[in-house]
Amino acid sequence: MSDTRQSLNRREFFSYLSVAWIAFSAACAGLASLAFRFSYPNVNFEPEMEFLAGTPDLYEEGVDERYKNGYGVWMVKLEGKLFALSNICTHLGCIPNWLPAELKFKCPCHGSGYYMSGINFEGPAPRPLERYAITLNAEGKIKVDKTKVYRWEKGQWDHPNSYLTV
């Protein structure tokens, strides 16, 4: 009787020991993963600052939105010029929408409106949208470089790299 009782106790002991060991191992693994995560900074994956945007013949007169979501850029062909327009509202940085029926960009946050050219005309936006550098590479492809910004209010929209003649 006492042998049976003793063997049960031993079995229970090893069972508890196994559970405790598994719990301890899981806790150690959790701590190790936290330490690993802590040792790496939060990386903010920004859109690419440079991209190729096809060839000029791909664009029709008006606003092309194919690079809006991936790169934050509207490609606009207007009166013989093709330019890369930033989609960041100059008021507080919201993303306006292009309204083709009204031929304007309209910011959903506080109502700023911009003409197709990027010039602001309503709402609290203090200045026009910005344009990015746009050039043709050796293969005739359009290269947009968001590290170079051209502002209308500084007279920079006349700069030869702020548009392509099309």
The contact set with ligand FES (CB under 6 A) reads 89, 91-94, 107, 109-112, 123-125
Q: Which is closer to ligand FES, CB of 65 or CB of 145?
A: 65
Q: How far is the CB of 76 from ligand FES (least distance, A)?
A: 18
Q: How far is the CB of 68 from ligand FES (least distance, A)?
A: 15
Q: Which is closer to ligand FES, CB of 53 or CB of 90?
A: 90
Helices (H), 64-159: 68-71
Q: Which is closer to ligand FES, CB of 47 or CB of 111?
A: 111
User: Cα separation of 72 and 54, whole Å?
Assistant: 16
Q: How far is the CB of 154 from ligand FES (least distance, A)?
A: 21
Q: How far is the CB of 106 from ligand FES (least distance, A)?
A: 9
Q: Are 136 and 164 in contact (CB under 8 A)?
A: yes
Q: Which is closer to ligand FES, CB of 56 or CB of 123?
A: 123
Q: What CA–CA distances, in Å, run from 49 to 4, 24, 66, 150? A: 75, 47, 16, 15
- Single out the residue of 139, 131, 118, 130 nearest to residue 161, CA to CA: 131
User: Coil, helix or strand for 5?
Assistant: helix
